[in-house]
Structure 1
Amino acid sequence: MAKATKKQALGRGLSALLKDPENDIQSVSDKNADKVIGNVVELDIESIEMNPFQPRSNFNDEALEELASSIRELGIIQPITVRKLDFNKFQLVSGERRYRASKLVGLTTIPAYIRIANDQESLEMALVENIQRQDLDPIEIALSYQRLIDEIQITQEKLSDRVGKKRSTITNYLRLLKLHPIIQTGMRDGFISMGHGRALINIDKKKDQIAIYEKIVSDGLSVRDTERIVKDYKEPSDNPGVEKNKNGKPAQVPSFVSNGIDALKDYLSTKVDVTASSNGKGKIVIPFHSEEEFKRIKKLLTGE
């Protein structure tokens, strides 16, 4: 306990040093810079501004309240990181959730590591540090990678070294940005996974992406189900839902079948294979790809 009190007192002493106009530290070579830069300092929350380079844009209110409750009971366990902008003025580099939760609790000061960095360095620090977090959604990670590439002019190969990820991993995230914005939002909100998104990327037309996305959400389809749907989309039959004959040509079916198959497919929300002879005899095949899908189809057909 004595050590913690001494450390906190040291932080407050450094805070007073920063508020002294005669010790306005602007670079690592300035007097007393070694006492402040890289050390934990108690800063006034009001002296810290938000980071425009923050990759995270979604903050769960419930999770923030839980963090605020923890801070209320235990205090700030891990300091935030800021960079010095001007005299007694700082900008958040990382730790925005802790910063927001501290303001919710009503704290007036917060422990912070102080860095000296320009805009580009601050952007890189914020993005690289946040990419390492486990709670970013796939789209936030993809946007962070894209910003690093665009604004720091870094290649995927160098980015791979910088963040410690395989280049193929980075490429897979970046490809998610080709999805329709509605699907990106669905991924951020947890309606679909990154696996669903990676399957949907193979659909070029955005309206078709949306149609399959809506089916995934409404039917609760798995990633494997989605991959099958995309495969069927990419390799369609000449007359979807109707089997081909041995010559690879569409089998001739009565008009009552060809006229009614679309309604059957719409009702069941799945692919339906039909074979029929000219005398009206035939069979209907309804494939399913999971226990859940089988039960859904069964309920539609039997009402049970």
Structure 2
Amino acid sequence: MAKATKKQALGRGLSALLKDPENDITTAQDKNADKVVGNIVELELDSIEVNPFQPRTSFNEEALQELATSIKELGVIQPITVRKLGFNSYQLVSGERRYRASKLISLDRIPAYIRIANDQESLEMALVENIQRQDLDPIEISLSYQRLIDEINLTQEQLSDRVGKKRSTISNYLRLLKLDPIIQTGMRDGFISMGHGRTLITIEDPAKQIEAYEEVIEKSLSVRDTEALVRNMTTSKKSSSSTANDRESLPDYIIENIDLFKSHFGAKVDIKSFSDGRGKITIPFSSEEDFKRIKKMIDGA
């Protein structure tokens, strides 16, 4: 857990830069602004206010309590994003569930990304440069990709051009953010690889996903062994009419393109075809943030 401690210490060190009233950082051109833009900074929860224009006004209390329990055990895996309003004053941009859950367990601080005036270009440069580093774990890379999509308003195609990676590679990283926080933490701490994570994410039942993860850790399974474990867990739940048979019943023009749909949206897209030539495409989403991610991809298509 030394890795997490190092990150928290770094975040606290950066937060000290924002506590100097004589050298307050308000724009991307200010002294030390480059140390804040694109980095994680630990902020006091009391210095952050919710966005009054946040369209989401109701939050499931049970789900919030579950998130609070997860944060209490593992910390905040994905930092929130805020914009600077004034000296030691911030407003939420994204991450209100994480913010509220942290309040529930009386946390004093929360890791955050700070947006400041005129930092759009600086932020993009910082994130792209960060992605090129060699010491990042898969979740850190995934979070950087997601930030470029959310905050710079890039499509996956545009992101592919900016960072010089295939769109399928980017999709594979982004899908890791759908893993249970416990598994994400295990990946960040080096207990499992990205290959393990990509395999475990195919298990839709969260409880089964954790069960498989624990077996991988306990038995030190390789990626290939994990694939076999997941196959056994999923096939035991399937009926005799398997997905393979369903795919065989589809027209060739759909079969040839179904994997492209799945890769593009980073989701298990379901395509049905009817005898009269009509069809239906279903794109599942796991949360409000996931829905917005898919919407942005459609808008930018």
TM-score by structure 1 length?
Answer: 0.43
Q: Which structure exhibits the higher relative contact order, with contacts defined as CA atoms closer than 8 Å and separated by 6 or more residues? A: 2
TM-score by structure 2 length?
Answer: 0.43
Which is higher, the Rg of structure 1 or of structure 2? 1
